[in-house]
Structure 1
Amino acid sequence: MSDQSNTGASPEASVLRLLGIMKRLRAPDGCPWDRVQNFATIAPYTLEEAHEVAEAIQRGPDFPALLDELGNLLFQVVYHAQMASELGHFAFADVATAISDKMVRRHPHVFGEATARDVMSQSNAWEVQKAEERASRAKAGTLAGVPVNLPALTRAAKLTRRAARVGFDWPDVGGVLDKLEEEAAELRVELPGADPVRMADEVGDLLFVLANLARKLELDPEECLRGANAKFERRFQGVEARLARSGLTPADVDLEAMEAAWREVKTEEK
């Protein structure tokens, strides 16, 4: 496979150009907006771009969009590296070296003398490596190192997956469903009092158990919810379209009429 891009530029030249653009933007006579940014202000954009990459993949993947979104995400990495370089901590090359070293270290069957069978025979070999790396960074504990800024459902699944590795888990899916019913019952108890703090706590418990349920079923809770969002959006738009054929909008009809249209849309999808 050629290491040249479709534009004819080498990967090295393309990366150097991007690094140069980033440095110019942050220069004293660069872009006023870019010059005043910091890690905290850029972090939300980094998360947003990662989600947009996932969305482009989910759409097929949509390769033109994926190319664009991967570029946006790469720019976020370059942005953070440039800010770190300005503070004297590390540069983009250090980021690339660190991840390269990590991948070589975690794949001794590819880059070392171990065989694939050697690696696969070691239970949770990858997690053992990661635990050792966390320990070297003075992050102790089973749950150490799970990023706080992950989407909440994703983080819940990761936290419970970590706990499950040391035996803190339900034996089967049935146990999770029982817990879900228990949490729903606790929410019902709080409804008459309508205390927002208590209800938020109970709804949080419900969502956490649902993330556990997805994990036990070997599903990604974020993907499940994204699918549900897309389905709701598609069906509600179908309801609006059906009403529009009669010159109506949802605001013109009652809930019963909208429910009837919803059922018709669902039937058509089957």
Structure 2
Amino acid sequence: MNTRESQLSAFNRLLEIMDDLREKCPWDKKQTFETLRHLTIEETYELTDAIFDRDLEEIKKELGDVLLHIVFYAKLGSEENAFDIADVCNAISDKLVMRHPHIYADVHVDNEEDVKKNWEKLKLKEGNTSVLSGVPKSLPAMIKAMRIQEKAKGVGFDWDNADQVWDKVEEEMNEFQAEVQKDDVQKMEEEFGDVLFSMINYARFKNINPEDALEKTNKKFIYRFQYLEQEVQKDGKQLSDLTLEEMDVYWNRAKIEKQKK
């Protein structure tokens, strides 16, 4: 691993390259906070893909892309005399010190849960008007639900055990089925949202990350469907010409092939 000196040297090199690009590159010259925003989101998702696959080489590359965006935003901030990369680093350092009084002050904690509860209490003292104010509005709905539930738990608003949560899941399922019988789309949507929210809550109690669980199912479906497409083509057939029962033969074969790997 690199020494701290070489790490700082590498970071300084990136800052100097950013200065050059902003001055000399036509594309980099044109970028703003707004134009970079969607690219930053894309880079973040690419990083999460690499993390999900546990591809360390790809994680390294994607972290570089995300770091470039941070440096770019800091450069834009400096051009507006609002902040620079030092201000960004100092701001997060100050926050970390303040949010970890069990490390940098005399607060005692016994476990991870104590740390989380202190974190939320400190955020309220800092001026946040709500425990939930730190949940970004633009988060995907499933991740947002997870964060909402975690933050509510941080101040003690939570179920006592998983059985209670499962009872809630069943209650919401029944309410959803009742609306299905009425065929009211707006009400069905509302109740289906409640079902999903309660299922995410139950997953949390069972230490399951619902986002990861769904992504694994997505990948599984993609693998099986693409296997189906390839095998049908090998057999000289058209997928659109097959019955569902015929497709199911290939689908089950894909499941068997995956288990062998």
Normalised to the residue count of structure 1, the TM-score between the two structures is: 0.80
Match of residue 122, structure 2, among 120, 132, 152? 132
Match of residue 43, structure 1, among 29, 34, 37? 37
Q: Residues 71 and 226 (structure 1 numbering): CA distance in 2 closer, same or farther, change over 3 Å?
A: same
Question: CA RMSD for the aligned pairs?
Answer: 3.0
Gaps of 5+ in 2: none
Q: Residues 88 and 198 (structure 1 numbering): CA distance in 2 closer, same or farther, change over 3 Å?
A: farther
1:74 aligns to what?
67
2:221 aligns to what?
232
* 1:121-177 CA-partner distances (Å, limit 9, x unpaired): 6962343134323432x2122222122233321221110122233443333323333
Match of residue 150, structure 1, among 130, 139, 143? 139
Q: Residues 54 and 113 (structure 1 numbering): CA distance in 2 closer, same or farther, change over 3 Å?
A: same
Paired residue type of 1:132? L
Q: Distance in 2 between matches of 1:171 and 1:247?
A: 57
Q: Distance in 1 between matches of 2:205 and 2:187?
A: 27
| Overall identity of the aligned pairs, in % | 36
Which structure is higher in helix share? 2
Q: Distance in 1 between matches of 2:44 and 2:133?
A: 22
1:93 aligns to what?
86
Is 1:23 aligned to 2:19, yes or no? yes
Alignment: residue pair count: 259
Q: Distance in 1 between matches of 2:214 and 2:33?
A: 29
1:53 aligns to what?
47
Q: Distance in 2 between matches of 1:263 and 1:181?
A: 31
Check conservation: 1:153, 1:222, Cα contact below 8 A: yes
Farther off after superposition, 34-43 or 209-218:
34-43
Farther off after superposition, 211-220 or 39-48:
39-48
